[in-house]
Amino acid sequence: MALNVPLLSELYDKHPKPAHITFQYGTAGFRTLGDQLDSVLFRMGVLAGLRSKKLDGKTIGVMVTASHNPEADNGVKLVDPRGEMLETSWESHATALANVNTATEFVDALDAFVKAVKIDLSKPARVVYARDTRPSGPALVAALEDGLKAIGAEAHDEGVQTTPILHYIVRCLNTKGTKDEYGEPTPDGYYNKLATAYKKLVGTKTTLQPLVVDCANGVGFFAIEKIAPLLDSHIKLVPQNVAVDTLGVLNHACGADFVKTQQKLPPSLASVLKPGERACSLDGDADRLMYYYLDERGQFHMLDGDKIAALVTAFISDLVKGSGLEGKIEVGVVQTAYANGSSTKYMEDRVPVRCVPTGVKHLHHAAEHFSVGVYFEANGHGTVLFSPSCLETLRTHEPSTPAHATSLKHLLSLTELINQAVGDAVSDMLLVEAVLAHRSYSGEQWDSLYADLPNRLVKVSVPNRNVFKTEDAERRLVSPPGLQTKLDELVRKYEGGRTFVRPSGTEDVVRVYAEARSRGHVDELAFKVAGIVYDSQNGDPAKRPREFL
């Protein structure tokens, strides 16, 4: 069977590539202004079909989202059969296809690709897709559908969903009828699975105070609306920032990325959250989660991905001990360079810890090496993976005491509650709430597990972020030459100082991270580093952002 060249060429011509743009499959797929992505969506439809054919007709997912980015951006990423990110080796094929300039080049590139990776075109292609609430979404989905048609894929539209629900559905569809069956492949199946596991896990524990949930004015609101009634009286969710139909407000002055980067309360919550209360923020596609609380004096305190990882790791480690499985199940943690130094120390004193480059794909794969792999990025993106052998151990273990049996039951509920496909803000939120209920922790008690080193994240715009290359899990720059030496000299002047610079894979900026013993020092360090980065690329002092001076 051959490619349908006439159909591919005809539909290709409906989706011309904008001149002078080079697309790149980045940290989480393609991301840029939504109105520039039409051609990319068409091509990713074709590629998703080919990926499915290559994997013998397994269902591939396509998510149209730009997650935490501003509303005008959009993006697309492919989801592999177990609900994980696209295999890295295919990212370069995606980039190559996104950048060809004519229908002939496109068909030739497809043909060469099909031969090179040995795709049997007679195999079926199955693709399921969804989008977030961005206004550019429907048109991009139409372009995607043309791509799916051009490759002859059997396609299913899940409409507007959170990113983790799409990942969940992909995993369910591909495991249906196998021993690894993951659940009912529908959004309702997802909500029921999580709600049931949550209620089992918290049982008769005292109900916590209502939880304020900042939905970032995005699709997360739909998920909160759906799951809240299924939780009965076990927890009351109070959704805020729910203006999903209002233009211009998605992720604007709210959401997980705002909280993490600004380290403050979304202004819209100022009149909602009272001293002593906790709240959380989702991001635009509900795959990140950030917690915070106001102390008795009304002071804001952030509980980020590192704090979530610490809370969850300690809880799971105690359950493993409590069920008599110590030595048989190893709990490990995966972090990135953004992890606060204090969190790394807290973890290393308890469990093995690995540091990997930014991007869920890196964390996910590293976490698979542990029986229970807890992975969280400081930005609130993460989950906990239970290995197949760990699941087997949990299912077959004979507890020798009632206390062992209770801990084992809780561990089994956790395997149902925690999304095994990808980081998931709603699943993670219920996980945190369950642990808080078990521990009887307030936000303040949770926060006291360790004290964060003051830190700051700064974005620097440069003409070409691709000149920045890193090594050592992104902790050191190898290019531009000489820059790392300057950073080393600078950071030595700050007690407890640490800094690194890396190009973002989702925004057209270079990110600067810094931490030090005091707030004053860390701000100074971060802005000095940002200034050095800016000067190394722009050379126009007149345009230097004021805060870098």
Largest CA distance in the chain: 72
Question: Are the CB atoms for 340 and 301 separated by under 8 Å?
Answer: no
Clarify whether 67 is annotated catalytic.
yes
Annotated binding site: 67, 283, 285, 287, 377-379, 502-506, 511
Q: Under the rule (CB under 6 A), what is the footprint of ligand G16?
A: 27-28, 67-68, 283, 287-288, 358-360, 377, 379, 381, 504-507, 511
Which secondary structure element, helix H or strand E, spans residue 279, and what is its range?
Answer: strand 278-282
What sign results for the dihedral spanned by CA atoms 245, 246, 252, 254?
Answer: negative
Complex with ligand G16: residue 208 or 529, whichever CB lies closer: 529
Question: Are the CB atoms for 286 and 164 separated by under 8 Å?
Answer: yes
In the complex, minimum distance from the CB of residue 362 to ligand G16, in angstroms, rounded to a whole number: 8
In the complex, minimum distance from the CB of residue 441 to ligand G16, in angstroms, rounded to a whole number: 26
Complex with ligand G16: residue 461 or 504, whichever CB lies closer: 504
CA nearest to 313, candidates 361, 383, 366, 260: 383
Active-site entry in 67, 136, 427, 536: 67
In the complex, minimum distance from the CB of residue 186 to ligand G16, in angstroms, rounded to a whole number: 23
Q: What is the DSSP-derived secondary structure letter of residue 132? A: -
Which residues make beta-bridge pairs with 29? 26, 27
In the complex, minimum distance from the CB of residue 263 to ligand G16, in angstroms, rounded to a whole number: 17
In the complex, minimum distance from the CB of residue 26 to ligand G16, in angstroms, rounded to a whole number: 7
Annotated binding site for substrate: 377-379, 502-506, 511
Complex with ligand G16: residue 50 or 432, whichever CB lies closer: 432
Annotated binding site for Mg(2+): 67, 283, 285, 287
Complex with ligand G16: residue 317 or 383, whichever CB lies closer: 383
Tokens (6 digits) for 312? 């969850």
Complex with ligand G16: residue 371 or 506, whichever CB lies closer: 506
Euclidean distance between CA atoms 50 and 214, whole angstroms: 38
Q: Are strands 300-303 and 289-294 parallel, antiparallel or unpaired?
A: antiparallel
Q: Characterize 91-119 residue by residue with b for buried, 16 or more Cβ atoms within 10 angstroms of its Cβ, and e for exposed.
A: bebbbebbbbeebeebbebbeebbeeeeb
Angle between helical axes of 38-54 and 5-14 (0-180°, round to 10): 150
Euclidean distance between CA atoms 300 and 210, whole angstroms: 18
Which secondary structure element, helix H or strand E, spans residue 392, and what is its range?
Answer: helix 388-396
Complex with ligand G16: residue 252 or 381, whichever CB lies closer: 381
In the complex, minimum distance from the CB of residue 128 to ligand G16, in angstroms, rounded to a whole number: 19
Reported as half-sphere exposure (CB side, CA atoms, 13 A), residue 126 has a value of: 12
Residues carrying an active site annotation: 67
